[in-house]
Structure 1
Amino acid sequence: MLKRLRENRKSKKGFTLVELIVVIVIILVLAAVMVPSVTKYVAKANKANCKADAATTLTQLQVNITDNYTEGTTAYTLPNTIGNASKATDHITTASGNPTYFATLDSEGTVTKFSYQNGKYTAIWEPEAGWTGTCMD
């Protein structure tokens, strides 16, 4: 009986505790090396998302201004979903909440400065400079 137990013990295949600990340490080292680079990619994706949202909002704002601008006057009213202004020289802002934006218009209703904030990042657009702000690299 004792002989059979010894044979079973020798014939069993498996890992020792030391081997398992070595494998776990290797996995932890690889994870420690990968986490910073993955974090950089997530931050870069969030910044790109901010810029894309800002560009979409700016485009929609410009379309609404064009659709609601009355030729020969400086008066127009924008839908509440994109902001409010009663005349072309006003600033257009969203109500409280995220995201928020602020647009400055000239006398013809052209956007001269646009700022977009999504809670973490800010994108700023000006005709001469293009996109700047904290969500740009």
Structure 2
Amino acid sequence: MAEGNMRGENNVLKKLREKSKSKKGFTLVELIVVIVIILILAAVMVPSLLRYIDRAKEANCKADAATVMSQLQADYAASLAKDQTGVDEPTSINGVTVTKVTTGSVPATKNTANFVVGSTDDINYFSYNNGEYTATWTLDDGWVMAKVAGGSSSSSSS
């Protein structure tokens, strides 16, 4: 009887081995669960990453604006020494080209300036007026962003 029991156990083990050998890979349900988890993670992560990209572009815009303002202040100081004649030629600062919109003398108020900025970051326009700046730049997807100091920003399609 013990021999019959051993054969029965061997048969059960054989069947289990055969089933495990024929089962290779994942089931459809397992694959769908993994895909759903990946999609949920992507839905949560993508907006966060896009916000970081926008913040980086804004910080870069502010840095360019600070560089341009330094050059404008230097131009203004130089123009005071040159009978208010100002500089009409485009100026390049660290790869950022600055061209004044108005020609002639530097504005009478040193805190007011309007000029166009062209750089590798697609900054289209920058305006500075009594401590408040407005900058616009084009995003990769064709949208134009406008940022005004103080936290308001807007966007429009181009």
Aligned to 2:17: 7
- Write out aligned runs for 1:24-103 (5 A): 24-66=35-77, 68-69=78-79, 71=81, 73-77=83-87, 80-82=90-92, 101-102=99-100
Q: How many residues align?
A: 119
Structure number with greater Rg is 2
Identity level (%): 36
- 1:131 matches 2:141: no
Specify the alignment match of 1:89 in structure 2: none
Contact 1:103 1:111 (C-alpha < 8 Å) held by counterparts: no
Q: Which has the higher contact order (CA 8 A, sep 6+)?
A: 1
- The corresponding residue for 2:113 is 113
What TM-score do the two structures reach when normalised by structure 2? 0.52
Q: Which runs of 5+ in 2 are unaligned?
A: 1-12, 136-145, 152-158
Residue number in structure 1 paired with 2:32: 21
Asked whether the equivalents of residues 90 and 99 of structure 2 are also in contact (C-alpha less than 8 Å), the reply is no
The match for 1:93 is none
How far did 1:26 drift? 0.8
Q: Which runs of 5+ in 1 are unaligned?
A: 84-97
User: CA distance change for structure 1 residues 82 and 41 in 2, over 3 Å: closer, same or farther?
Assistant: same
Cα distance, 1:37–1:48 mapped onto 2, change above 3 Å: same
